[in-house]
Amino acid sequence: MPVFTRSLHKICLKRLSTLLFSIKATMDTSKLKILCLHGYRQSGEHFRKKMGGVRKLMKSAADFEYISSPHIINSDEDNEPADGDPHAWWFTNEETNTYDSKEFESKCFGFEESVKFVESVIREKGPFDGILGFSQGACFLSLLCCLQQQGRLQGSFKFAIFSSGYLSRCVAHQNLYTDKLGLPTLHIFGETDTVIPEDMSKTLAEFCEEKQIIRHPGGHYIPSNAHFKDPYLKFLQARLAEKMDSPER
């Protein structure tokens, strides 16, 4: 091959490589990557199925990764059927491996293991732009936000989405709730939620400085009807804009 041809070939390959890198960078920032934390007595797969309609509303702005907590619940906990493969992020009763969101317990069991597990997920499957949590998963997320803000979390994320969220009432967690959360947050909760009453979710929202609130007339779920598409995308598109402007891009 003549020298001129070889040089032209190298130039073309270099430009092609630059173009492919630019396309990949654009693809990496065209959507948000969100880690999802399920609720008590759920699993990652169960939560994924439950969020099917919600994902469709958000699909233009985000992709989702679902995981199951490292703690399995006893299937004979009570007479109610478990949600498929039941898990919890921690327990308030070590003997029975059960959890009560409304009790002021002195200890929580399994919390540190769950934090280490999420750190490993961020390390192996991240980075994640944000984290979404439902019910106990949202409570867990509030604590992860505190750990990150205090420089005590291995891994990072830029925003949090809480659905049916609340502050932990475990005494062992109270030292984490020192300063209000400064990262952007979205709070989704139902006016008729009897599992996590609206007031508990409002208290969490008040603990966050930069927040958007979406209230719906229903109960303990993330609404998936088209009425909520615009407010969901309003929050996500703002985070996308921040991501595009970030020097870390």
Residues 6+ apart with CB under 8 A from 155: 118, 119, 122, 123, 126, 127, 148
Question: 6 to each of 1, 20, 143, 151, how far by Cα in Å?
Answer: 6, 21, 58, 52
**What is d(CA 43, CA 137) in angstroms, rounded to the nearest whole number?**
11
Give the Cα separation of 219 and 197 in Å (integer): 9
Q: Which residue has the tokens 């205090």?
A: 150
- Rounded to whole angstroms, how far apart are CA atoms 38 and 60? 22
- Write out the catalytic residue numbers: 135, 193, 220
